[in-house]
Structure 1
Amino acid sequence: MTCGGALLETLCTGGLTSPFRQEYAVAMGSRQQFLIIALLLHIPLFAYPILRLCQWLTLSPWQTTLILVPLFCSQIVARLYLRHANSGLLFWLRRGADLWLGVSPLLLISLLLTEIPVAAGWIAPTPAALGLLGLTGLLTLYSIANAWSPSVVKVSLESAKLRGTLRFAQITDVHIGSRTGDFLQRVMDKVNTLDMDFLCITGDFIDMPGIDGPQLAALRSCPVPIYFCTGNHERYEDLDQIISRLQNLGVRCLRSQSALQGEVQIIGIDDSEWPGQVRKELACIDIMQQRFILLLYHRPWGLGAAAEAGVDLMISGHTHNGQIVPFNLVVKRVFKRSIGLFRQGATHLYVSPGTGTWGPIMRLGSRGEITWYEVRPVGQHPHD
């Protein structure tokens, strides 16, 4: 999904987005059990750091309570009641909750590293707390700046199926809703400078209902065809309306369908939590083996099935490469292929770390990316 993709979303918020809440409540058999687990997840991230720092700063109980209660409850309120706020005061309250969601793991790690020197008496609690807050503030500012504008990353490949060089771009996990139309404009300004035959959007382009034309208008500036496959966040929101809005902007939405673009057959598969989705959907698509086969699928699952079907290149996103440390470490445990280029037989998979951000507009230990692919005929040099 997605801050580790959905990993930060589920771990930091206790899974309190509507789809996760429903799925977990059913799986556990009761809402009470779910809420207990959600609160337990909140304690290390949103209670312990605040209580410990307030203790080190010798704040009074009522001062501690005034700080603890809103910060501890922020994610529950934001995910249940503010997740659709996109204007006015409620929007900024949600943004504040999102920022705290990103800051809290940085604060927790810094605090854990500081506990030993404080316990050993090497540093007094109050200076330790002030230094820790200063360090967390600097890391936060860097993380925000790092998430501001994605880099262009080039991926070079060869294929015996091509007569001429194929160039195209990929953006993924842009998360309009968490991010604004201005961010999309910055992304498209970079995309439009690239020499490309088409643009691919591999899901989680929108993560809020009601995202309308003006917020997506930057797509109109793209001089080449745009192909889109769904991500998990589109499924969580107003999927049919999202598809309609994108189609009105000229985007070709491939929902377990294929399209021809020059020498390329482009296949897009709908996102699913089921690991067998790629195998199931590819079995229903007429794959033209004489063409270069490009598969768009949001999650980095199904490389084996893609290789068996004769896919040449599969491109995915979803993981955000953790987005904020330490979630990159967790993501690597959940997704065997979490970032970069992989190969199975004649099939390549490229996993993008994502272009935008979910929740907090922060990246630490990861970098937003616009991926630019150049696939040359075998034996052709880059300057040919």
Structure 2
Amino acid sequence: MEERGESAVWVNGAELPLSEYLAHSAGLLANHAPVLLLKILDPKPQAVAGELYFEVHEEKQEVYIVTHVDAQAWPGGVGGIRFGMDQVKRKSFGDAHQFRAAYLEAVQAYEKIRRQIDEQGVTDLADDEAKARAHMNSFAALRDLKVGDVVKVPTWTPHSLLHGVRVVEFQTQTYERFIISFAQQVVTQDHWDSTHAISHMHIDAPAQEQFDHIEPGIERIASFTDFNVWRLFHPLLRTAEHPDNRQRKTVGGRTQFMKYLSRRALFLLVVMSVAGLVLVYPPSRLISLLWPNWSVPFGLMAGLLAFPLILRLLHEQTNHAWSRAISAVVMTWLGICFVMLCLILVAEVLLMFPLPSETVGQGVAALVVLISMYAIFNAHRLHVHKIEVTANQTVNGTRLAQISDVHIGSRQPGFLKPIVQTVNALDADYVLITGDLIDMSNIDIDSLAPLGEIKAPTLFCIGNHERYVDLDAICQRLSSLGIEVLRNRSIDRDGLQFIGIDDAESKSQVAREIKALNANPDAFRILLYHRPDGAEEAAAWGVDLMLTGHTHRGQIVPFNFLVKKVHGYLGACYAAIPMTNANWSEPTDLIIEQIEIGPMQNYTYIIGSRETREVAIVDPAWDIDALTKHLAEKDYTLKAALATHYHPDHVGGSFSGHNVEGIAELMAINPVKVYCHKAEADGIKKVTEISDSDMVRVDSGDTLKLGNIEVEFLHTPGHTPGSQCFRIKNTLVSGDTLFINGCGRVDLPGSNTDDMYHSLRKLADLPDDTLLLPGHNYGHVPNATMGETKGMNVHLRIDNIETWHDIMGH
């Protein structure tokens, strides 16, 4: 077991330090193969105490397999590992040397504070420690981990498991390591190898793990000199055959088997209930309406239920032409039955009035036939939707063709040919396939061959349905057809950067995958991601255009209402969602840009109307020249400056011997009004030296119009008396009131602990789909929804002021 860096071996029921065990065993091991260590790493759930060393290895080989993610530490079930360096941050430095130097400076600044706390017992540095640690960690890339994930750690790659993520680790006994930093109190502080480690570590993004595919259901995930680690995918209690020694083993036990049976029984009960409602009730009820004196035989009802299910199961076991025809018939009948169900429910309401049942039944039957005929006809038509997207001059005139949700398997493979012909006729520069090309059905991958006839360069990202088949085989087949498969990677072509992200379980996971890639700031960045989830956040991810699918426009009433509710977009597969370089935008008129600026990781925001190009700038500071040039390049008309609070890192001024550019310098170039809360006006006037006439004093509930975009001011005191947030549609710019993982300090002049509590309670009541844009890059992601933030940020979950006082030290 290794817990917080302390390793031990269990020998005959007793715990022995790992180093002692290896020393005593040296003679016994001399004539044998090198030792392979199998360890369990179990970091504590607490965020600081549980973080292991951020370290690199010169020779050691190691592989992590995630076995548990602590629910207390990670309510969403997705933990993390710091793995490699942040490529977006790296791009902000001139070269690798400057990046390493800046990172070393950040680590050494943190080490100084850490030593004061651990060696000298200084107790009032908690806030300074948290800020220094956040700045230091911002250089490292954060990768999501969930149960079952495998991480191969290359030599000289910096890495550190985060708190609450338990793994099994396979490693060689070579245990040389160089520790860059550690965010925990340890027995000794003599292990800082920062200078050597940072000068030698790899700063390029680690290559994506590639596992050896042995045969369906078996892959090699680690290969040591005398030892291999295999991963087997198989259902419970299936017999698996090892590919090397042909030993057959049965996996599972009585307890697991009983749990499996109970889950399957519940699943089958739900399926049979739904199937009965959709497949049996509508036709039986329609028959009773048309022929009231005829009793529907039980055998007919059983056949209506069983026959489609049996045929569908037969199709799952084979990919012959006859099975595909059967599947088409079954799926068509299922659709007809659903239409029938909806109309029968309407009929039941009509029958409350004195209407002849035969007449109602005939009306239902006629509508079922007409609607079904139109639906079958419409399902086999190709729909081409043309959309114009504003882009920069470099890529103007580029033609993109998007294909999405073809579902070969449920749909006949022959459907690909007319798609290819249609796409070729569009004369596109690039063809982009945004997932669900195939179905979960058993298909012949050679049926994808028509895609090789697409003339334009073609790119593909996976959707949720590709996960139900042999994904590796599908990707290999597409690659053989000349299609570029983008799995959490990007490529640059002709001034465009295409980013393909695998269908993921959370928006924060997508954000981290994008952040880990090498961003090209000069390119027009196009995100291919199967679901429209995250469209509102994509701007802050640095995306200019997001192309998605998945929703099928709801496919059939009333599912269109459900799809709209779940994903926020009904026709995302038919609508491009343009964004202006790090902007967020609905397919309406809103622009929001998130710009990280200054040594304190501040965020400045530009918000406004795409139609009128009128914008306001939130908390302009640090580099006014760069901000004004950016406004000019985007052809924006600056109408106002908005201040969240008076601190100089947000509005400019002097502090701690530093002079920060801000609002005063901005107004010398663009003389606009400064909108601040009335309780903050004196503070802003004092630090920036602007006049009363330059300011507009606002109160909570006041609004500002930018074109047809409305900005609402929300007074949120606590960090300062007049701190305010800005709400634009379902987006919140929160300044220093609320961060992704915390809140603003309440130990500064003018701050108030109770006011902060009440302000956070106000923000906690905002809808969960509200996008939070904080004032600093202190979190592991640049933004998150309020729902996600509540899961990560304990300050938003405290609903008792006494508990708040205990935590905040009131």
Q: TM-score, normalised by structure 2?
A: 0.38
2:569 aligns to what SS in structure 1?
coil
Instruction: Choose the corresponding residue for 2:382, options 150, 156, 159.
Output: 150
Contact kept in structure 2, 1:303 and 1:344, CA below 8 Å: no
Residue of structure 2 in register with 1:114 after alignment: 347
Alignment of 1:1-384 (within 5 A): 30-56=263-289, 57-58=291-292, 60-61=294-295, 63-74=296-307, 76-122=309-355, 124-160=356-392, 162=394, 164-207=396-439, 208-213=441-446, 215-339=447-571, 340-342=575-577, 346-347=583-584
Query: Which letter does structure 1 place at the counterpart of 2:458?
Result: I
CA shift for structure 1 position 344: 6.3
CA shift for structure 1 position 229: 0.3
Larger radius of gyration: 2
Residue of structure 1 in register with 2:776 after alignment: none
Contact kept in structure 2, 1:295 and 1:314, CA below 8 Å: yes
**Cα separation, partners in 2 of 1:378 and 1:84, compared to 1, 3 Å:** farther
Residue of structure 1 in register with 2:210 after alignment: none
CA shift for structure 1 position 224: 1.0
CA shift for structure 1 position 191: 0.7
Query: Which letter does structure 1 place at the counterpart of 2:448?
Result: L
Query: Which letter does structure 1 place at the counterpart of 2:569?
Result: R
**Cα separation, partners in 2 of 1:68 and 1:275, compared to 1, 3 Å:** farther
Matches of 1:133 and 1:163, distance apart in 2: 53
Matches of 2:335 and 2:518, distance apart in 1: 44
Residue of structure 2 in register with 1:373 after alignment: none
Contact kept in structure 1, 2:436 and 2:462, CA below 8 Å: yes
Question: Which moved further from structure 2: 125-134 or 251-260?
Answer: 125-134
1:276 aligns to what SS in structure 2?
helix
Residue of structure 2 in register with 1:366 after alignment: none
Contact kept in structure 2, 1:106 and 1:136, CA below 8 Å: yes
Contact kept in structure 2, 1:203 and 1:232, CA below 8 Å: yes
Matches of 1:194 and 1:250, distance apart in 2: 19
Matches of 1:348 and 1:180, distance apart in 2: 37
2:436 aligns to what SS in structure 1?
coil
Contact kept in structure 1, 2:547 and 2:576, CA below 8 Å: no
Matches of 1:205 and 1:135, distance apart in 2: 32
Unaligned runs of 5+ in 2: 1-234, 237-257, 588-632, 636-810
Matches of 2:324 and 2:416, distance apart in 1: 18
**Cα separation, partners in 2 of 1:341 and 1:262, compared to 1, 3 Å:** closer
2:387 aligns to what SS in structure 1?
strand
Matches of 2:557 and 2:263, distance apart in 1: 32
2:384 aligns to what SS in structure 1?
strand
2:343 aligns to what SS in structure 1?
helix
CA shift for structure 1 position 182: 2.1
Query: Which letter does structure 2 place at the counterpart of 1:31?
Result: R
Contact kept in structure 1, 2:438 and 2:466, CA below 8 Å: yes
**Cα separation, partners in 2 of 1:327 and 1:153, compared to 1, 3 Å:** same
CA shift for structure 1 position 53: 1.9
Percent of pairs with identical residues = 34
Contact kept in structure 1, 2:460 and 2:484, CA below 8 Å: yes
Contact kept in structure 2, 1:181 and 1:218, CA below 8 Å: no
Q: TM-score, normalised by structure 1?
A: 0.77
Matches of 1:238 and 1:163, distance apart in 2: 36
2:507 aligns to what SS in structure 1?
coil
2:390 aligns to what SS in structure 1?
strand
Query: RMSD over aligned Cα, in angstroms?
Result: 2.8
Query: Which letter does structure 1 place at the counterpart of 2:287?
Result: C
Q: CA offsets, 1:254-302, max 9 Å, x none? A: 0001111111010101112333331121121111111000010001112
Q: CA offsets, 1:182-201, max 9 Å, x none? A: 21111111111113111000
Residue of structure 1 in register with 2:224 after alignment: none
Query: Which letter does structure 1 place at the counterpart of 2:432?
Result: C
Q: CA offsets, 1:7-64, max 9 Å, x none? A: xxxxxxxxxxxxxx99xx9899622222222233234322321332232223644x53
Contact kept in structure 2, 1:173 and 1:317, CA below 8 Å: yes
1:156 aligns to what SS in structure 2?
coil
**Cα separation, partners in 2 of 1:225 and 1:26, compared to 1, 3 Å:** farther
Question: Greater helix percent: which structure?
Answer: 1
Residue of structure 1 in register with 2:204 after alignment: none
CA shift for structure 1 position 88: 4.8
Matches of 1:224 and 1:97, distance apart in 2: 36
**Cα separation, partners in 2 of 1:59 and 1:221, compared to 1, 3 Å:** farther
1:119 aligns to what SS in structure 2?
coil
**Cα separation, partners in 2 of 1:252 and 1:99, compared to 1, 3 Å:** same
Query: Which letter does structure 2 place at the counterpart of 1:248?
Result: S
Query: Which letter does structure 2 place at the counterpart of 1:220?
Result: G
Contact kept in structure 1, 2:431 and 2:458, CA below 8 Å: yes
**Cα separation, partners in 2 of 1:342 and 1:221, compared to 1, 3 Å:** closer
**Cα separation, partners in 2 of 1:48 and 1:292, compared to 1, 3 Å:** same
Question: Which moved further from structure 2: 292-301 or 32-41?
Answer: 32-41
**Cα separation, partners in 2 of 1:272 and 1:74, compared to 1, 3 Å:** farther
Matches of 2:397 and 2:533, distance apart in 1: 27
Query: Which letter does structure 2 place at the counterpart of 1:139?
Result: I
2:388 aligns to what SS in structure 1?
strand
Contact kept in structure 1, 2:544 and 2:579, CA below 8 Å: no
Query: Which letter does structure 1 place at the counterpart of 2:549?
Result: G
